Amino acid sequence: MKCEICFQKISSNNYINHLNKCHPIFYKELLKNIISFNNNGMTISKISESLNQTKKFISDNLNLIMESKEFYDVKKPLNIKKWEPDKFKLETTTIWNFKDRGN
């Protein structure tokens, strides 16, 4: 992958380290935005869309922030696993009645 700032080729595993070492001001600002969006209840998907970063990048950074010894007020990320309630069953009947539909 290429760094969006200096366009240097970097492996995706080293991208966070590269940003932190070579572009610390940009990286700290990015972290502030990630924390702010996360604490305001945005999902990892929405944060990644807003900041033009991958979901993995956002997730990895949130994990690093929560594990770091520096003090950050970070809520647990909102990960939506289900889009329907438990024991949800789609109705298979209708209120419409078509007794004599004809041929």
Residue 29 confidence (pLDDT): 92
Host domain of residue 22: 1-103
Q: How confident is the model at residue 97 (pLDDT cuts 50, 70, 90)?
A: low
The answer to pTM > 0.85 is: no
Residue 23 confidence (pLDDT): 92
Q: Report how far apart, in Å, the C-alpha atoms of 100 and of each of 31, 94, 95, 103 are.
A: 65, 16, 15, 9
C-alpha 43: how far from chain center: 5
- As a whole number of angstroms, the distance between CA 59 and CA 47 comes to 10
What's the structural domain count of the chain?
1
Whether the predicted pLDDT of 84 surpasses 90: no
Residue 22 confidence (pLDDT): 92
Residue 33 confidence (pLDDT): 92
What counts of helices (H) and strands (E) characterise the chain? 4, 0
C-alpha 26: how far from chain center: 19
Structure tokens that stand for 2 in this block: 């290429």
Whether the predicted pLDDT of 65 surpasses 90: no
